[in-house]
Amino acid sequence: MAIWFHTHLRRLPVRAKTIQRVTQSILEHAGQRTAQISLSLVGKKRMRSLNRKYRGQDYPTDVLAFPMESLGKPTAVFLGDVVICLPVAIGQASRFDNTPDQEILRLLIHGTLHLLGYDHEHSQREAARMQRKERAIIKKLSPIPRLLA
């Protein structure tokens, strides 16, 4: 299993190895032990550009997921990319009654589940299914590790 991690932010230092380890745990708890993903942490300007280009929304959102469709049957599956806007995540944490670390973890789980085919925008039933899975994974990862340096 491989996690390709990149941060575009110098002003908001993170614990890269911890984030990679947590991401691997999320994949394992989601039943994807051999899966691989790319994870990027970006600022508002870059996220706004991505959201505008791929979703037609002209604002920085908290998380985007870009699923990769499988070509053939590789031994290790690359699921796609998760992009988290760290300033938005930190700014909205209190709105969800979370610490910044909890909010980053929530978004990481949320984006990863999107790569696995979960879609809360499709129906209320699917939204509830996704929310149950998010809660179950968060519970398994408790206590929440420090992700920000």
Residues 57-83 have pLDDT tens digits of 999 999 999 998 655 554 458 999 999
What is the rounded average pLDDT of the residues 103-130?
92
What is the rounded average pLDDT of the residues 34-53?
96
148 in any annotated domain: no
94 in any annotated domain: yes
Residue 9: both structure tokens together:
């932010």
Count of domains forming the chain: 1
Non-local (6+) Cβ contacts of 92 within 8 A are 62, 103
Residues 56 and 52: their CA atoms lie apart, in Å, by 4
Q: How far apart are the first and last CA of the chain?
A: 25
What is the rounded average pLDDT of the residues 25-43?
94
Residues 39 and 70: their CA atoms lie apart, in Å, by 18
114 in any annotated domain: yes
What is the rounded average pLDDT of the residues 106-135?
92
CB-CB contact of 69 with 77 (8 Å): no
147 in any annotated domain: no
Q: Which domain holds residue 81?
A: 3-141
What is the rounded average pLDDT of the residues 15-22?
95
Give the CATH number of the domain where residue 122 resides.
3.40.390.30
